[in-house]
Amino acid sequence: MAIVIQGGHILDPGRFNGIGDLVIDNGKVAAIGRTVSLPAGATVVPATGRLVVPGFVDLHVHFREPGFEYKETIQSGASSAVAGGFTTVCCMPNTNPVNDNQAITEFMLERARAAALANVLPIGAITKGSEGKELAEIGDLRRAGCVAISDDGKPVMNSLVMRRAMEYALAFDIPVVDHCEDLHLAEGGCMNEGLISTELGLPGIPAAAEDVMVARNVSLAELTGARLHLAHISTAGSVRMVREAKSRGIKVTAEACPHHFTLTEEVVRGFNTLAKMNPPLRTWQDVQAIKDGLRDGTIDVIATDHAPHAAQEKQQGFTEAPFGIVGLETALPLTLALVEEGILSLESAVEKLSTAPARAFGLAKGTLAVGADADVVIIDPQAQWEVDPVKFRSKSRNTPFAGWKVKGLVLTTFVSGRVVFEAPVPA
C-alpha cells in the first residue's frame, strides 16, 4: 500500500528542495513533487513543518559483532542507527574474528537481515587479521558484499602493503579506507599532544601522526589511481593536504566526525574518558580547519565513527580506557548546529549525511530519486531535546554529549518504505 508524506519540506540534495509530497510505493520512491496525484487508498503522513530527507548513510560504524556483543550487536547498532536517521551504515571490520573473509561478511549480512532495520553493509579488512602484512581476499570480500576495505582502528603502516592494496583494489573498483595514524609517532598516546597533555601528564598523539599518513596515502593514491577514502580526519594539516590533493584531481574523499567539529581537547580535562577517542579531540584551530573543510567541500562526508564501549571499560583510568564514543543518535543535531552557525547550508548538511557518503562508496543510496529505495527520514528541525544516554537504542552509553540541549529530532525513519523507527510521543 502506498504512503504519501504530505506537505513537508523535501530536501533531496541536488534534486529537490521545497515544500511538496513524497509518494512511496512498493518500497520505492514513486513520485516526488509540489503536487502529486494521491494513489487510491494511500496512507497519508502529514509532514507540514517537517523536513523530509533521504535516509542518512554512515560510512563509519563499529557494531562489534562478532566478538564484542556486550558492547553492541548488529541488531542494537542498527536500532541506534535508525533512531538517529541513518538507514545505511557501513561496519568496520575490527570485530573478533576480524572481517577479513567471506564467511564473516556473510554472517554480518545475515545478522543484518534478521534485524531488518537499517541497511548494514560490511567493510572488509585490507589485510589478514588487520595485521598490516598480507592482503585479505579482497575479491571474495567484494563478492560477498563488502562495500569498501579498511583496517580501521589501525593504519596500514607498511607503505608497500598499502600500495599493493590500492593497486589490487582497482580490479574491483572498491574504495580503500585508511585510519591515518603513524603508530610510531602516536605510540602510547591517549590524547592530543599539546599544552593540555603537558598539563595533565598524559602521553600525547601529535597532529603530525595523522598528517604524515595522510600525506603518504595521498601520494599512494596518486601513484596507483585508487579510490582513497580518509576516515575521521581531525587536523588542520589533513584538511590542507586533502584540499591540495583534490585540486590536483587525485581520487580522494574524506570524512569528519561530529565530535571533531564540535569539541576540543579541553573536554579531556578532569581525565574524562568520554572525551577519549582516536584520533583524539584536537585544538580550536583544528576544529576551525575541519569546519572550513566541510564548508568548501574538502571534507565530503560526515561520519560518526560510532564506537560503543561498556560502562566498566570507560570507568577505568584515562590511560587504560578504550578509545571511542557512540555517535549515531547525536549526529543529526550536531550537524544541524553547523547550519545554525552558518558553516553549512541545510542542503549541504543533508548532503554530507546522505548523498555524499553514498557517492563516496558508490552506493545506490542517499537519494529520493524516483525508483530509489524509499529510505526516508522525517525530521522536526525545530524540536529541542536533551541528550539522555539512558534513552539510547545503542547498547552503550559512552557519549560526551550527555545533558546537552540540542535541536533537530528524528520523528520517523523508513527503510524501503517500511517504518523502522518512530520517535516516542512525549508523555
Partner 1 sequence: MSLKRKDLLSLAPLSVEEITLILQTADSFKEVTGREIKKVPALRGRTVVNLFFEPSTRTRTSFELAAKRLSADVINFSPSSSSVVKGETLLDTARNIEAMQADIIVLRHSSAGAAETLARGVKSSVINAGDGWHEHPTQALLDLYTIRERGLSFDNLRVAIVGDVAHSRVARSNIYALVKLGAEVRVVGPPTMIPMGIDKLGAKVFYNLDEALSGVQVIMMLRLQLERQGRALFPTIREYARLYGLTAERVKLAEAGAIVMHPGPINRGVEIAPEVADSLSSVILDQVANGVAVRMGILYLMSGAN
d(CA 411, CA 46): 12
Decide: is 1 part of the binding site for partner 1 (CB under 8 A): no
Decide: is 319 part of the binding site for partner 1 (CB under 8 A): yes
Minimum distance of partner 1 from residue 160's CB (angstroms)? 24
361-376 burial: b if 16+ Cβ within 10 Å, else e:
bebebbbbeeebbbbb
Whose Cβ is closer to partner 1: residue 191's or residue 294's? Answer: 191
Minimum distance of partner 1 from residue 215's CB (angstroms)? 21
Segment near partner 1 (CB under 8 A), from 15-23, 81-89, 131-139, 202-210? 202-210
C-alpha cell at 414: 523508513
Among 57, 81, 202, 303, binds partner 1 (CB under 8 A): 202
- Which parts of 386-415 interact with partner 1 (CB under 8 A)? none
Segment near partner 1 (CB under 8 A), from 42-50, 288-296, 316-324, 392-400? 316-324
Whose Cβ is closer to partner 1: residue 202's or residue 277's? Answer: 202
Decide: is 200 part of the binding site for partner 1 (CB under 8 A): yes
- Which parts of 266-285 interact with partner 1 (CB under 8 A)? 270-271
Q: Say which of 100, 151, 286, 305 is annotated catalytic.
A: 305
How many of the chain's residues bind partner 1 (CB under 8 A)?
Answer: 21
Minimum distance of partner 1 from residue 313's CB (angstroms)? 10
Among 318, 323, 385, 404, binds partner 1 (CB under 8 A): 318
Minimum distance of partner 1 from residue 389's CB (angstroms)? 18
Decide: is 384 part of the binding site for partner 1 (CB under 8 A): no
Decide: is 96 part of the binding site for partner 1 (CB under 8 A): no
Whose Cβ is closer to partner 1: residue 96's or residue 272's? Answer: 272
Decide: is 194 part of the binding site for partner 1 (CB under 8 A): yes
What is the SS3 string spanning the chain?
CCEEEEEEEEEECCCEEEEEEEEEECCEEEEEECCCCCCCCCEEEECCCCEEEECEEEEEECCCCCCCCCCCCHHHHHHHHHHCCEEEEEECCCCCCCCCCHHHHHHHHHHHHHHCCCEEEECECCEHHHCCCCECCHHHHHHHCCCCEECCCCCCCCHHHHHHHHHHHHCCCCCEEECCCCHHHHCCCCEECCHHHHHHCCCEECHHHHHHHHHHHHHHHHHHCCCEEECCCCCHHHHHHHHHHHHCCCCEEEEECHHHHHCCHHHHCCCCHHHCCCCCCCCHHHHHHHHHHHHHCCCCEECCCECCCCHHHHCCCCCCCCCCCCCCCCHHHHHHHHHHCCCCCHHHHHHHHCHHHHHHHCCCCCCCCCCCECCEEEEEEEEEEECCHHHCCCCCCCCCCCCCEEEEEEEEEEECCEEEEECCCCC
Whose Cβ is closer to partner 1: residue 191's or residue 344's? Answer: 191
Among 312, 405, 424, 426, binds partner 1 (CB under 8 A): 312
Whose Cβ is closer to partner 1: residue 317's or residue 342's? Answer: 317
Among 134, 244, 296, 320, binds partner 1 (CB under 8 A): 320
Active-site residue, 100 included: no
Minimum distance of partner 1 from residue 209's CB (angstroms)? 13
Whose Cβ is closer to partner 1: residue 65's or residue 193's? Answer: 193
Which residues are designated catalytic?
305
Site residues (CB under 8 A) for partner 1? 193-204, 270-271, 312, 315-320
